[in-house]
Each structure stands twice: as C-alpha cells, then as structure tokens.
Amino acid sequence: MSQQGERPAAHEDDWWRRLYDETAADAGSTNAADSLDDRFDSASDAVGPAGRGGPGGDDGDGGTDAAVPDPRTPPAPPVRARAPWEPPAEAERAPWKPPSGAAQPRDLAAPPAPASPLVEAPPPTPPPGAERPGTVDGPPPAPAAPPPVPAPPPPEHVPPLPRRPVAERAEEAPEEPAPAGALDSGSGAAPAGPAPAAPGPTSRPGLMYVGDRPPTYDAEPTALPATTPQELDGLVADTVLDGARYGTYTLRAASVRGDSARFRGEPRRDALLTVRFGAAENALVLVAVASGARAAEGAHLAAADACRWIGGAVGRSHARLAEDIRAGRRADLKSGLQRLTDRSFGRLRARAAELGLEPHDYTVGLRCLLLSADPDCRTRVFFGVGGGGLFRLRDGVWRDLEPDVPASGAVTGEPVVGFGSASPESGPHGDRLTMDLGITTPPSPYIESPPPPPAEPFRFRASVARPGDTLLLCSTGLAEPLRGEPALADELAERWTPPEPPGLAAFLADTQLRVKGYADDRTSVGVWEA
C-alpha cells in the first residue's frame, strides 16, 4: 500500500524485471559507421578543406592530424565559490535592491563637431597592418593639428605703456627675428615700431598769468552773489560759453566774472548774447556784448536788458540786414543799425525812469557783431556804443580796429550864431547886460539840474576778412589789459594763430589768462576765418 492508502494494481517490482529481463535477446553490434572516429571524420569533412578526408588532408588513418581552428570566444573564467561574509554578486542582487557601491558620474562624450568646408578633412586611417607612406618600421605619425583660430582684433585705442631705453630692454630679452613677410617691400628693412599716431589737439600750457607778479585775488570763484526769493529771475551765472561754425568762419564766445567780483560775491556785470536768425545762406548771426556800469547796483540787469532789446530789434529786421551785408551797402547798414541802437538805449532810459534811477546809473556799453552765414560773403559788420575793444590778428600781429571818434571837448569849424557864439549884448566876461540900464542880471534863486552827460558816439565799421584772420571783440575787462600789457598780447597771438581755432574749453582758458592790476569781468568773442 502507498502512503496515500492506495493499493497498486501490479507488483511494485515489475518495472525492474522489465528493464533487466535476462530472457530478452541482445540486439548485438550493427554494421553502421557510428563510432567516435567516424563522427569526427564526418565533422571534419563538413568544416573545410583542411579537415580530415578533404582535399587538403589525407584519407585513412595513417594521415596527419588536421589543423583545428582557434576558438572564437575566450574560455569562461572559472567560477569561484562565494564566501559567506562576501556580498552577493550583481547577478545575484534582487531587482528591488540598489547596486553595490556608490554611483560614479559618467563623462558624456561630446558629439563630433561638423567639419568646416574651409578646412581639409584628414586622410582616412589605413587598416591595421597596412604600411603607411613615409614610415619605416616606426610608430604612426601624430595626426595633424587643426589650423589655429584667428585671435580677435585688438581694440581701437590702447594707451601705450611707457617706453624704456633700448639698451635696457635689449639686456632683458634677446631680439626675436622678424617673421617672413614683415619686411617693407620698398626699403627691405623691418619697421622700427608701430606707425605713429596722428597728432591730437594741442593742449594749453600751464600758464595762469602773465607779468612779473601773480594777481592779488584767487583764480577760482570764492563767494556767490546774495539774492532774495523775489530776485531769482535776475541771477547771472559765473561763466557763459558758446560757439558755432558757419560759412568760412568759426565762432567762439565766453564771458567770465572778474577776480574782484568773485572775491566780493558780486554778480557778473557783463552780458553775452549769441543768436542766429533765418536759415541756410540767408541766416544772420548776431553776437552782442554789454557791460554795466561798475558802481551801479543793477548793472547786470541793465546789461541783460540791452542785449535782449538789441537782439529783438535786429531779429525783426534780419532779412533786410542780411541782404545789405551781402550786397555791401555800407551807408544803409550804418544808418539802420544806428537807429536800432538808439531805440534800445531809449528803452534803457525809460526803464531807469521806472526804477527811479538816473539815466547814467542804468546804462551800458554795447558792442555787436553781425556775421552772414553765406560762404561767399566775408563782410564782417561791427557797431556799438561805449567802451570795449575790436582787434584783428593777422600774420601774428595785433591791430586795433577801434573806430576813431572826436574827443568830447573838441570843436571844429567856425562858430555859428546861436550855437556856441557870444550874443551881441553880452559883456566882456560873457554876462548878459540889460539894454538900457547896464545892470548885471542877478543869478536865479532856483537850483537848476546839471546838464546831462554827453551821449556816447555811435561806432560803426564794416571790413572784409581774409583767410587766416582772427577777429576779436571784447569788453573793457579784456581790452584794457590787451592794450596795456604787451605780454598778454604776445601770449594770445601765439595761442590764437591759425591753422586751427581753439576748442571751447581752450578758448575759455585763454580768456581767463590773468594779469595783475586787471580784475574786471571779461567777455571775448573770437572769429577765425578759414
């Protein structure tokens, strides 16, 4: 009976009797070629000609053994038994367990860069064992280096380093030979250095004053003018600078507060106006310079009013004035400009009456220049009233172009009755006598007002400029030292001689060239003819 309680139908030893039944007949040997040698010969014939029984081998048992090819895969390494304390191999690791050891970063190889069409591709690598040209039993040559990438161009301007003596630099490093193609094709010699740079604008020397001694006051502003909230519109800047270029001339204008006014905190009494009317060739440029009275309290306001009013009068008539200048109508220009100047001074006198001031307390010295923008017109017109200066620099020599006017007390010609001549009934000393009694008339008991000061003469000049001339219009603060100090005239002549006019900053520095004894405001207008 079995363990499950079943009872077999047959005897349990029947299978053993059937396998080892001694009564069954033996099959015996067979005639088929099924031995080990026969199978080896059959396999050798199927492999190739080098096998046994093929064209390359001998038939029969007496031949040589056939060459067996080397196995294509190396034999597997022997399997070593794992010790109990060793961790399991990677193949034995469970899928949910992390791999043994810390993960190491991998270097991702960058994809090969596409070959540039301008660079030749390297020759193909010959197969192993093939002989490369140009080598005899030696290692293969290194691959050719790629062409160098050109360096970026240097910046436009690099300040040069200070140069040292040639002998000192030769001791430190030997001179390298010049590369091929660096020699000059004309002379055959290598250039000594980089090409010299174009010369820049000449800088002004550090001369701050002329004369034997420095001026008394400081060169820089010290105090600001005092003002009130109601007088903010009347403030005047310490320095005014302007410039332009039209036609064949270059204009520079500057007005600077004097050293004395800077020290005392007084406003600048000079006023400067540069303005253009019209456009293109019909344009007219006006430059007006006004200087207030030195002792007057509102001198800077009077100067500003004079410049504003003469500018308005010229602007309203600029078309006619520009036409007269280009046509050269000197008489029309003189009469027209004198009429405009008289109107401006009439407004100054009316303004003085409104302020309760005397006319001489609210007056200015006015000087103006009219310049045409037409390149074919070189006529320069000057007009004005009062002190100042008009100079011309030609061939390095200054010339004073101030128009001559008669002195205030000079009388020319014969006396006219009723105008400067004695009356018939006057006495020997000029006292008027009565006709019948001969008694001297007593003086009047009323105090008469003093006679008004004689009016300043109108100045006018029209001249034709030449190429290379420099015309200078200035206020009294620069005209007086220019006439009284030859060193200042020589220094400015050297600085302002062509070929190139100075820049705005350089012109301002030249205007501020100081002289001892002259500390008033300075206003200068320079015109350089091309």
Domains of the chain: 211-402+455-529 (3.60.40.10)
Task: Compute the distance between CA of residue 492 and CA of residue 240 in angstroms, rounded to an integer.
Answer: 20
Task: Compute the distance between CA of residue 242 and CA of residue 507 in angstroms, rounded to an integer.
Answer: 10
Task: Compute the distance between CA of residue 284 and CA of residue 337 in angstroms, rounded to an integer.
Answer: 14
pLDDT at 438: 53
> Where is pLDDT greater, at 2 or 251?
251
Q: Does residue 470 register a pLDDT over 90?
A: yes
Give 393's pLDDT tier (boundaries 50, 70, 90).
very high
Look up residue 451 and give its two tokens: 């006679």
Residue where the block lists tokens 């367990």: 97
Q: What angle, rounded to 10 degrees, do the helices at 299-316 and 318-327 form?
A: 70
Task: Compute the distance between CA of residue 288 and CA of residue 19 in angstroms, rounded to an integer.
Answer: 146
52 burial level (CB within 10 Å; 0-12, 13-18, 19+): buried
Eight-state DSSP code of residue 61: T
Averaged pLDDT for residues 1-19: 62
Q: Does residue 507 register a pLDDT over 90?
A: yes
Give 150's pLDDT tier (boundaries 50, 70, 90).
low
Residue 289: CB partners within 8 Å, gap ≥ 6? 255, 270, 271, 272, 273, 307, 366, 367, 368, 388, 473, 474, 475, 523, 525
Task: Compute the distance between CA of residue 513 and CA of residue 496 in angstroms, rounded to an integer.
Answer: 13
Q: For strands 239-246 and 249-256, give the pairing.
A: antiparallel
Give DSSP secondary structure letters for 469-528.
-EEEEE-HHHHHHHHH-HHHHHHHHHHH-SSS---HHHHHHHHT-EETTB-S-EEEEEEE
Residue 278 burial (CB count, 10 A)? 16
pLDDT single digits (tens) 342-388 = 999 999 999 999 999 988 889 999 999 999 999 999 999 999 999 99
pLDDT at 47: 77
CA distances, 25 to each of 16, 86, 418 (Å): 17, 59, 192
Q: Indicate the SS3 state at residue 91.
A: coil
Task: Compute the distance between CA of residue 469 and CA of residue 498 in angstroms, rounded to an integer.
Answer: 8
Q: What is the dihedral of CA 486, 491, 495, 498, to 10 degrees?
A: 40
Q: Does residue 313 register a pLDDT over 70?
A: yes
Look up residue 393 and give its two tokens: 């620099």
pLDDT single digits (tens) 187-238 = 444 444 444 444 444 555 566 778 777 777 777 888 898 888 888 888 889 9
- Residues 400 and 388 sit within 8 Å (Cβ to Cβ): no
pLDDT single digits (tens) 31-85 = 666 777 888 888 888 876 554 444 444 444 444 455 555 555 555 666 666 666 6
pLDDT at 205: 55
Q: Does residue 252 register a pLDDT over 80?
A: yes
CA distances, 298 to each of 223, 291, 358 (Å): 18, 11, 12
- Residues 462 and 381 sit within 8 Å (Cβ to Cβ): yes
Eight-state DSSP code of residue 416: B
- Residues 523 and 475 sit within 8 Å (Cβ to Cβ): yes
Helices (H), 328-370: 330-355
Residue 491: CB partners within 8 Å, gap ≥ 6? 207, 210, 513
Residue 256 burial (CB count, 10 A)? 24
Please state, for a pLDDT cut of 90, what percent of the chain lies above it.
Answer: 38
The CA-CA-CA angle for residues 31, 33, 38, to 5°, reads: 160
Eight-state DSSP code of residue 335: H
Residue 9 burial (CB count, 10 A)? 5
Amino acid at 382: F
Helices (H), 165-228: 166-172
Partners of residue 260 on adjacent β-strands: none
Task: Compute the distance between CA of residue 521 and CA of residue 476 in angstroms, rounded to an integer.
Answer: 8
Task: Compute the distance between CA of residue 515 and CA of residue 506 in angstroms, rounded to an integer.
Answer: 18
Amino acid at 401: L
Which of 41-50, 168-177, 327-336 holds the top average pLDDT? 327-336
Name the strands in the sheet holding 364-372, side by side, starting at the edge strand that comes first in the sequence. 270-277, 284-292, 364-372, 379-385, 458-464
Look up residue 339 and give its two tokens: 């009429």
Q: Does residue 437 register a pLDDT over 70?
A: no
Could you tell me how many helices (H) and strands (E) the chain has, helices first?
A: 10, 13
